[in-house]
Structure 1
Amino acid sequence: LSLVPTQLRDLLGDAAGRDALRSLSAVLVGGAATDRQLVDAALAAGIALHLSYGMSETCGGCVYDGRPLRGVELSLGERPDAASDRGRIWIAGPMVMSGYLDGDPGVTQLNGTRWLATSDLGHLHHGRLGVSGRVDDVIITGGLKVAADQVRAAVLSAPMVAQAAVVALPHPRWGQVVSAVVVPTDAWTQDSPAALRDLVGELLGRQLAPRVVVVTDHLPTLASGKLDRLAVRNRAEQVRRDGGAWTSD
């Protein structure tokens, strides 16, 4: 069975769903960033979980549990020949598309190899690929580049947060500010926004901690189950405009 993280979370929350997942020889999850907590919960429930990475341009998943399939090449950095251990993810191999319908080749030719420049940032850890976030999800606040997914992982480590998204909101002084949109647990109190900023500050550094916190009862998703980033950002901006968001300044 192949799922996106939202579907996996919903099934884990249902007894019949958990039983169905346990009966399968393999459960693939991909299509969006998968929280470490969600992975741990699935494994603890006895599910044969495998993380897949790929996209329409690679005909679906081509990297499983951080390892590329046979014939798949990976490279990280500003260019496919950068030989870096982190940066933009480049993919080459027979599964890479021929090109886009409008004539844009969508690939870079280098020494006879066709490389696809993905929109994702990655890193190598003991030879395995980890996806750090999207290139367009880098928040530039006060000249500092902040990876939204890194902050999101820290936000999700808080016991009073059930789900979270991290987006950039415009700010007259900082240009953009790191903003957390959270679905709270029962442990959430009126002091939780400040405590959340303190926690992220301790984990990542104060400059990466959210300056805006918006509480919501759910995170909007697309029909595929993936997070609707535009809808989340619009909702956060509207709540801040209406005075319902917690802000640190």
Structure 2
Amino acid sequence: MAELTPAQLPEAIDRALAGESILLLPTSRTGSIAEADPALWRGDGPSPALILHTSGSTGAAKAVALSSEALTTSARATERFLSGPGRWYLTLPVNHIAGFQVEMRARLAGEDPVRSTAASFTAANFAEDVRALVARGGERPRYTSLVPTQLHRILADPAATSAAADFTAILLGGSAISPALLEGAEAAGLKIVRTYGMSETAGGCVYDGRPFDGVEVSITEAGTIDLTGPVVADAYVAIAGDGALTPIDSPALVGTGAGRTIRTSDLGRIDNGVLSVLGRVDDVIVSGGENVSPHALESALLPAWQGHGIAEVLVTSVPDAEWGQRIVALVRLGEAASEAVRARSGSPTGLGEVLRGLVPPDTAGMLPREVLVVDEIPVRSIGKPDRRQAAEVARARLQMLTEP
């Protein structure tokens, strides 16, 4: 296998789409993309164009095989949904499907993206990179793909917010999106397109709640989301020490051709043809015999708390002898945090008491007992909430506060 530099990736994408090679994305953000011989494919039919890994948010990361058809169908559907082929800004890691798809869409549009060179995302670097994109001139639409954490930081910086307004559309996905964040973006004049998808669907395949042409969304009896169509992956894959790539049967990925289906662990509902994602089955917290969806609770809490300086909130839980699991919230304070919030920021129970009083009755269901202030909300590389890390942070911080 040959490792590729970012400059070599566009032509490598051409080869992979033509069936002349297989691209393998690294498992870490700092790893390199590799190009492999199609002869390493041990499955029936043509070799995949791309092997990448899931985020591992619900267990060990799994390798996923995506065909040339799945990738190009997704990229062309994005162009049709937006304003046609355009210029792209890449600020997401290419080891994740969202970042790779920016490279892919840019290649199909005939122009390399502007790639962020910053080690970590900052609003200042974003504004500088967007100026470079705008400086290219021309009438082509401008696009980027962000995760909510990045958008939070952009909206907190006037220069970055102004730069974001230069995009024809901003794809926003990767984790739950709070209504308050969308309201802030709309007020700033940003053109946000909410996306839903995953590694197994070649990235987002549902935009603003509506699926791409050819993609079918259904809700199972258990309330989980099934996605069917040509963007769905061919298979999960085992990667041997000698580089051999062997498909693995999985009950989560079934069917063939355009009838391939990924059975997700995401809860959802469909209203008038529009999909709403309600969180993951795996994330549900059972507290006092009640099922609590962290996603739903976060979406209710942040609009009530944002006006008092709470910039971000992540709901988690800790073991409790009485409740089984006790609801805890991690919050990041904004610059406009109120005096009452700052005064209680060192006391999880005190801050919890203040913030619970700001939530309208019957709005959020079971509210957090304690609220912990953190410098940064725990996230994975793509910006998805890291709920395992959040639970560890909450447990460690509360234990430290109760020790004599």
TM-score band by shorter chain is 0.7 to 0.9
CA distance in 2, matches of 1:170, 1:201: 27
Q: Check the 8 A contact 1:90/1:118 in 2, yes or no.
A: yes
Residue matched to 2:296:
150
Aligned twin of 2:165: 22
Q: What are the ranges of 5 or more consecutive residues in structure 1 without an aligned counterpart?
A: 80-86, 245-249
Residue 109 (structure 1) shift: 4.7
Take 1:143 and 1:219, find their aligned partners in 2: how far apart are those partners? 27
Helix, strand or coil at the partner of 1:165 = strand
- The residue aligned with 1:31 is 174
Read off the aligned partner of 2:331 and give its amino acid letter: V
Q: 1:88-113: CA deviations, max 9, x gaps? A: 11100011111100313332459x94
Residue equivalent to 1:131: 277
Checking the alignment, whether the CA contact within 8 Å between 1:151 and 1:200 is kept in structure 2 is no
Aligned to 2:56: none
The answer on whether the counterparts of 2:178 and 2:298 sit within 8 Å (CA) in structure 1 is: no
Alignment of 1:232-247 (within 5 A): 232-243=390-401
CA distance in 2, matches of 1:204, 1:129: 22
Take 2:221 and 2:254, find their aligned partners in 1: how far apart are those partners?
A: 12
Amino acid at match of 1:118: T
Q: Does 1:183 align with 2:342?
A: no
The letter for the 2-side match of 1:168 is S
Native 8 Å contact 2:230 2:259 kept in 1: no
Question: Which residue of structure 2 aligns with residue 215 of structure 1?
Answer: 373
1:205 is displaced (CA, Å) by 6.2
TM-score relative to the length of structure 2: 0.55
Higher mean alpha-carbon deviation, 168-177 vs 93-102, is at 168-177
In structure 2, the residue matched to 1:82 is none
Deviates more, 1:46-55 or 1:175-184: 175-184
Q: Name the structure with the higher strand share.
A: 1
Matched, 1:47 2:178: no
Is contact 1:201-1:209 (8 Å) kept? no
**Larger displacement relative to structure 2 (39-48 or 222-231):** 222-231
Give the corresponding residue for 1:90: 226
- Aligned residue pairs total 236
Identity %: 39
Q: Is the 1:151–1:166 contact (alpha carbons within 8 Å) kept by the matching residues of 2? A: yes
Partners of 1:117 and 1:26 in 2: how far apart? 29
* Alpha-carbon separation, structure 2, partners of 1:205 and 1:22: 32
Kept after mapping to 2: 8 A contact 1:152/1:165: yes
User: 1:127-181 CA deviation, whole Å, 9 max, x = no partner?
Assistant: 2111111111100112211111111122212233221100121111221122111
SS at match of 2:377: coil
**Are the counterparts in 2 of residues 165 and 181 from structure 1 also a CA contact under 8 Å?**
yes
- Give the Cα–Cα distance (whole angstroms) in 1 for the partners of residues 168 and 364 of structure 2: 41
TM-score, length-scaled by structure 1: 0.86
Q: Confirm or deny: 8 A CA contact 1:76 1:123 kept in the other structure.
A: yes
Contact 1:222 1:228 in 2 (8 A): yes
Tell me, in whole angstroms, the C-alpha distance in 2 between the residues paired with 1:203 and 1:219: 26
Deviations 1:71-124 (A, max 9, x none): 000011246xxxxxxx211100011111100313332459x9432111211122
**Equivalent in the alignment of 1:197:** 356
Gaps of 5+ in 2: 1-143, 239-247, 345-349
Q: Which residue of 2 aligns with 1:76?
A: 219
Distance (Å, rounded) in 1 between the aligned partners of 2:360 and 2:371: 14
1:234–1:24: structure 2 CA closer, same or farther, 3 Å change rule? same
Deviation at 1:201, TM superposition (A): 7.3
CA shift, 1:220, in A, is 2.4
CA distance in 1, matches of 2:314, 2:196: 20
Give the greater-gyration-radius structure (CA): 2
**Equivalent residue of 2:263, what SS?**
strand
Q: After TM superposition, where is structure 1 displaced by more than 3 Å over at least 4 residues in a row?
A: 198-201, 203-206
Residue pair 2:300, 2:364 contacting (<8 A) in 1 also: no
Equivalent residue, structure 2, for 1:83: none
Query: What CA deviation, in whole Å up to 9, does each residue of 1:21-49 have, x standing for no partner?
Result: 11111111001111111111111111111
CA distance in 2, matches of 1:63, 1:14: 29
Match of 1:247 in 2: none
CA contact (8 A) 1:120 1:134 kept: yes
Alignment of 1:52-71 (within 5 A): 52-71=195-214
1:224 Cα offset (Å): 2.2
Q: Which residue of 1 aligns with 2:249?
A: 104
Amino acid at match of 1:3: L
Task: Quote the offset at 1:20 in angstroms.
Answer: 1.9
Instruction: Give the conservation status (yes or no) of the 8 Å contact 1:180–1:214.
Output: yes
1:170-211 Cα distance to aligned partner (Å, 9 max, x none): 1112211221111234211325411323444723466x1112
- Counterpart residue type for residue 287 of structure 2: T
Give the whole-Å Cα distance in 1 for the aligned partners of 2:235 and 2:173.
Answer: 23
CA distance in 1, matches of 2:224, 2:379: 25
For the residues of structure 1 that align with 2:358 and 2:249, how far apart are their CA atoms?
45
Pair 178,77 (structure 1): closer, same or farther in 2 beyond 3 Å: farther
- Name the stretch that deviates more: 59-68 or 176-185: 176-185
- Say which SS state the counterpart of residue 94 (structure 1) adopts: coil
2:154 is equivalent to residue 11 of structure 1? yes
Contact 1:198 1:209 in 2 (8 A): no
